[in-house]
Amino acid sequence: MINVIGVNKTYIDSGTEALKDVSLSLNSGRIIGLLGPNGAGKSTLIRVLSTILKFEEGELTIDGLSIKENPLEVRKKIAVALQYSSVETWLSVYENLIVYGKFYGYCGNELNERIEKVIELFQLQEYVNTRANELSGGYRKRLQLARCFLSDSRILILDEPTAGLDPIIKDKLYGLLRTYSREGKLVILATQLLDEIEKVCDEVVIINKGKIIIHDTVDEVKELFGGTKKITLFFEEVDEEIDKKIKDIAKEYEIEYLIDEEKIILIATNKIANRLCRKIFEDLDPQRIDVNNESIEGIFIRLFSTNEKRS
């Protein structure tokens, strides 16, 4: 459905190479999470996919249509909610929906019915006559999303759509996305939230510094990077002897550790965690050991620090 081949994008003013040789193949009926830290290139890729941003090298086709040759036709196939509000600020909520609906070729009763439906979906009833620039951030986001669901586009591209949304609308959105994918539509969702990926996505594309590091199913990625424990050892003081012993243990078990005054923090896979804890008790005799499943944030951080070491 979407094919990206060797796309490069450099912002001329800053000289930033925001996308480096990006290739991707995305199929219908899937929800794709685009994950990466700040500045990774998510929004750049989203804008390129949305026909909004031109790129220098490479090729991008949507349903077989080249984005370079047929930008307007491609644009009509997709529904987009950018990271930063792209609504018409001087128009009311209702007028925004009219303009967008007409762009997709709806008119008359059909247009009105579609507008009513999305107003209800995103609970915008109170604000239909309010100018977009008078809406709060969360309501602007709702308007952006309402516009997306106005059309029957088979491809939905959303850049951090839940930032600023309240939990009720967020949940509603997740439900809508699942329905969309069951209907065979393709959803691309840029996010920094790992739990969002786990909750709604089928596949994850991880991007860092403009490069795609991983594209796989969510289950595979979890398998690869999840399943770890954070082990914290507490001492009165981490003296030289403890320091030396932990170094040896870390070497033997091939794990990373961090010394923080009277604490040592280790990250170990579930597989070796038990053995490691026994060894620590025997060799180091800490005052206390805490063992926790590593947090979602922890996995995220580790993902990118590992990547930096590799590159």
Ligand X SMILES: Nc1ncnc2c1ncn2[C@@H]1O[C@H](COP(=O)(O)OP(=O)(O)O)[C@@H](O)[C@H]1O
List of residues contacting Mg ion (CB under 5 A): 42-43, 83
Q: What angle do CA 227, 258, 285 make, to 5 degrees?
A: 90
How far is Cα 272 from Cα 125, in angstroms, rounded to an integer? 55
Provide the minimum distance between the beta carbon of 40 and ligand X in the complex, in angstroms, as a whole number: 4
Task: Out of 1, 22, 24, 42, name the contact with ligand X by CB under 6 A.
Answer: 42
151 interacts with ligand X by CB under 6 A: no
- Judged by beta carbon, residue 93 or residue 206, the one nearer ligand X is 206
Tell which one of 3, 5, 8, 16 touches ligand X (CB under 6 A): 16
Report the partner that residue 286 touches, choosing among ligand X, Mg ion, none (CB closer than 5 to 8 A by kind).
none
191 binds ligand X (CB under 6 A): no
Q: Residue 161 interacts with ligand X (CB under 6 A)?
A: no
Residue 38 touches ligand X, criterion: CB under 6 A: yes
What are the backbone angles phi and psi of residue 219, rounded to the nearest 5°? -60, -45
Rounded-to-integer distance, Cα 160 and Cα 42, Å: 9
Closest among 72, 113, 37 to 307, alpha carbons compared: 37
Buried b (16+ CB within 10 A) or exposed e, 20-42: bebebebeeebbbbbbbbeebbb
Nearer to ligand X (CB atom), residue 165 or residue 207: 207
Task: Closer to Mg ion by CB, 60 or 190: give it.
Answer: 190
Residue 44 contacts ligand X per CB under 6 A: yes
118 or 190: whose CB is closer to ligand X? 190
Sequence-separated (6 or more) residues with CB below 8 Å from residue 218:
33, 197, 198, 201, 202, 203, 204
Q: Cβ closer to ligand X: 9 or 142?
A: 9
Provide, for the chain, the percentages of residues in helix, strand and coil under a 3-state DSSP scheme, each rounded to the nearest 5: 45, 30, 30
Indicate whether 36 belongs to the interface with ligand X (CB under 6 A).
Answer: yes
Interacting span for ligand X (CB under 6 A) from 34-42, 101-109, 232-240, 249-257: 34-42
Q: Closest distance between Mg ion and the C-beta of residue 170, in Å?
A: 18
Question: In what order do the strands lie in the sheet containing 2-11?
Answer: 16-26, 2-11, 57-62, 65-66
Secondary structure class of 107 (helix, strand, coil): coil
The listed partner (Mg ion, ligand X, none) that binds 234, CB under 5 to 8 Å by sort, is none
**Cα–Cα distance for residue pair 191/208, rounded to 1 Å:** 13
Min separation Cβ 7 and Mg ion, Å? 17
Q: Does 39 bind ligand X (CB under 6 A)?
A: yes
Contact status: 13 vs ligand X (CB under 6 A)? yes
Q: Alpha-carbon distance 45 to 154, whole Å? A: 19
Give the binding site for ligand X (CB under 6 A): 11, 13-14, 16, 18, 36, 38-44
